[in-house]
Structure 1
């Protein structure tokens, strides 16, 4: 809509009046025609049917695999957020399929805006939860922050990103093509939410990287707990860490791309470039979802799965259990007798079943 000649409209009309008039005209479009060209749509092209079907199938697979392993190993919260994010992505790319025939399909366009924007934010929550459990399993004492506090730091920040982007997506979707100014406000909200998400991701990466280097040095000393050393060298555990790191990297790349894509406003040159969208949006989320689905903690990091599957305590975590683990890892060897707490997952509240018996350094 940029670069419009004002002389084509009645005298006294401002640029905003012209933009709204054009928006209202195009809002009435239901199909591609000479007066409603495909170039005037937000996407500016007919989406490729094959690649969108491929993405829909890929996210359906990720969702089902996540549910399969998550239910089997009872990693409830970790499973729920990845499955929900994959389901949103599935809905988004399924909605893009009708756009391959008719880019003016407003309902499909609105669905794909909201679903594809919000899906990765939910997946991030599961990634944030892993840092706490890695710290508890290796050495809580080396973490600059109490491991049980990490979910209370990163999850609320991530939810804030979700809320800001949801507001922007709702404004943009509800006003698409009939209120240009409101669409721009929605665009700014989405950009703000994505920028905040990048900041949170970078903060998480810095925190995780700092802990990695501290453990890497500690693991080579005589003070290192033998069981922590064994876990550090365990191939399955390392596969899990590599998968989470790969997922984190993909989502970070996608969020940076989204900032560039949204910065130029709806229908800008980057937004109308389908190849960049396929690679930097589609694959940068599909790959993380599949990595997290097929390399689950229930199979590769059982210490995390044990803590998250406390009997009858979905969504609850015993602070006492975290405290016991922290105190234990602060001592070399870590073979003291202490109270074993059957804990739940991340929320930081709840009660555990207490039994007096020796435990390993990574028991729940």
Structure 2
């Protein structure tokens, strides 16, 4: 069925197979995801205040809010599977939401490098947010423009789909390069530590936990982005767009897990002023007890 016929359909006049998704989105599942993203949002706001991490909290909050609006759009489609407004709300908001989350992750890697060993980075540490965050913005703009073009054409614009796909592809490429550079830094840091060119004093159990959680969240978002490229590869009429189970498994679950993982491994656990002061004091005390000059800790 063509997109201009969707508006005249109702449950009594059309088959659900003639709707945009060819299924009726699950009210229960979408309501649960709204509640879960709402819960994660509350936790991120609390953690942002508690740990004094405003930037991370703001970016994660924007991501969660976009997700909630997007799943609200899917509930509109439960009420009216042929309604294009609900479709555009969900396709735009759910698509762009992880962009804010990856921006938070990019800034976190920069801060991690500055804390561990800036000299071990292959590039100037600021590169990790000065390049990747603008790349995130480019991906966001492309995906938003693609969604806007689709809304104006009621889904008939292939150009809108292509621009949205370009945004998703650019996001995947950016994430892939980011992951590669993150792995490269880890190897260089460990090599420098073995040679005595970098200190391992900051790499305590808490930092390893946070770094592991952030890395896991990054992987989940990457998997999700690859899936979205596959989902939209044949436009709004492809088979992947009509598979709700696949959407829930590779979109919804991937992103909700990532948001809660970033709650559990919140960067504020190692970057909050209170923790950094107490950790520095502990390291200084340990070095003093072992007879090592505290001047070495500073350098």
TM-score by length of 1: 0.73
Alpha-carbon distance, 1:267 to partner: 2.6
- Are the equivalent residues in 1 in contact too, given 2:44–2:61 (CA < 8 A)? yes
Classify 1:37/1:176 alpha carbon distance in 2 versus 1 (closer, same or farther; 3 Å).
farther
1:27 is the counterpart of 2:1: no
* Count of equivalent residues: 284
Match of 1:230 among 201, 220, 225: 201
1:87-236 mapped onto 2 (5 Å cutoff): 87-176=65-154, 180=156, 182=157, 184-225=158-199, 229-232=200-203, 234-236=204-206
2:242 partner SS: coil
Alpha-carbon distance, 1:79 to partner: 1.2
1:72 is the counterpart of 2:50: yes
Whole-angstrom distance in 2 between the partners of 1:238 and 1:257? 29
TM-score by length of 2: 0.88
Structure 1 residue runs without a partner (length 5+): 2-21, 308-332, 337-358
Which range is displaced more, 36-45 or 247-256? 36-45
Alpha-carbon distance, 1:303 to partner: 6.6
Alpha-carbon distance, 1:293 to partner: 2.1
Whole-angstrom distance in 1 between the partners of 2:128 and 2:3? 45
- Are the equivalent residues in 2 in contact too, given 1:66–1:294 (CA < 8 A)? no
CA RMSD of aligned residues (A): 2.2
Per-residue CA shift, 1:230-260, capped at 9, x if unaligned?
Answer: 222x111111011101110011000100111
2:241 partner SS: coil
Structure 2 residue runs without a partner (length 5+): 278-292
- Are the equivalent residues in 2 in contact too, given 1:70–1:78 (CA < 8 A)? yes
More helix by share: 2
Whole-angstrom distance in 1 between the partners of 2:34 and 2:48? 21
Whole-angstrom distance in 1 between the partners of 2:274 and 2:149? 39
